[in-house]
Amino acid sequence: MKISVEQLKQLNKEEYILIDIRDAEEAFKNPIENSIVLSGERTLETDFDSTKKIIVVCAQGYVSDIVAQRLQEKYEAYSVDGGYVSIVMDKMNTNVSDDFCAQVERSIIKTYRRKIWSKFTKAIRDYELVKEGDCIAVCISGGKDSMLMAKCFQELHKHSPVPFDVKYIVMDPGYSKENRDVIERNAQRLNIPIEIFESDIFDNVFNIEKNPCYICARMRRGHLYNYAKNLGCNKIALGHHYDDVIETILMSMLYGGQIQTMMPKLHSNNFKGMEVIRPLYLIHEDDIKAWAKHNNLYFIQCACKFTQACANETCLTQSKSKRLEMKNLIKELKKVNPFVEQNIFKSVENVSLKTVIAYKDDHARHHFLDTYDEEGNE
């Protein structure tokens, strides 16, 4: 049986158990209030209080229908009609004040000045991300990270002593109508003048078994570069944040057998004259989530077909499961050492080449024995 969001709101919270069976990373990034996060598989294996209604929610309501139907053998079970997207749309239908957008903008430079605005401008300065005459394509996926980045760029464009131009682009790689509606509604509410272009990336990668998320990301990057270049831009801005950086460092060490990080900016190999920049490089994910919650903003994190179809633990793609594993590892390490995040980040700023066995550059591999007899070692 289905239950609408409106019907769910009418229930007393003591009457039901709300189970979120979305992709574990999506549930972590965009939690549903008062829900229990379980895979569809674990939900079917778990014993619940039989006196309560069991209400299941997934990304768009397709997989939760199947799980709820199975649960009806033992419980009064329901599937949230339309899934998480319908919950987001319901919250977005709440009337907002006339100066809502102005309040959001003030929160960036006032309430979250130290945790967001100052770190955004520090990254811009320290890594020289914006230069005079730049035309930057701010790439918006529809999630909280890229939407915050767009608002920060609007503030920077208004106040920066360095003249530059900025455009706000959204690539629709095959979103459902509901997901696209959420992106467009959020852009409208936040007064972000987005320009949408379409591609068929989701259809192209859906049947790829090995590393579909990696291939999708590479294809998206190429489409963004190409579209931005045709607009006259010389840079694209992506919404990767501090947590993405330190998770990448750990993943490269533990799974790649190398020390490598996500760089704050890079020249494109395939699009001459183009660069990618990451202005949220120093901003913590928890602070982005806090900013979104403070302003009652709701977003779709990932709207791909893999996420929509995901109902069990094995459904996580390899790259997503590894990244979630890194998040959990860092969380455990912080219990022992609260400075573990910044230490991981600083580790790639303080590399001493004299104390590594070997390192590579674009041209060659260098081993410590190459110069061992030429200099002192202590």
DSSP symbols for 199-256: --HHHHHTT--SSHHHHHHHHHHHHHHHHHHHTT-SEEE----HHHHHHHHHHHHHTT
| CATH, range 100-295 | 3.40.50.620
What type of residue is 39? S
Q: Is a pLDDT exceeding 60 seen at residue 239?
A: yes
Q: According to the model, what pLDDT value does residue 238 have? A: 97
pLDDT in tens, 5-46: 999 999 999 999 999 998 877 888 888 989 999 989 999 999
Q: Is a pLDDT exceeding 80 seen at residue 207?
A: no
CA distance 333 to 249: 15
Domain segments of the chain as ranges: 2-92, 100-295
CA distance 121 to 156: 8
Q: Is a pLDDT exceeding 90 seen at residue 145?
A: yes
Alpha carbon distance, N-terminus to C-terminus of the chain: 72
pLDDT in tens, 152-194: 999 999 999 999 999 999 998 888 788 889 999 999 999 999 9
Q: CATH topology of 2-92 equal to that of 100-295?
A: no
| CATH, range 2-92 | 3.40.250.10
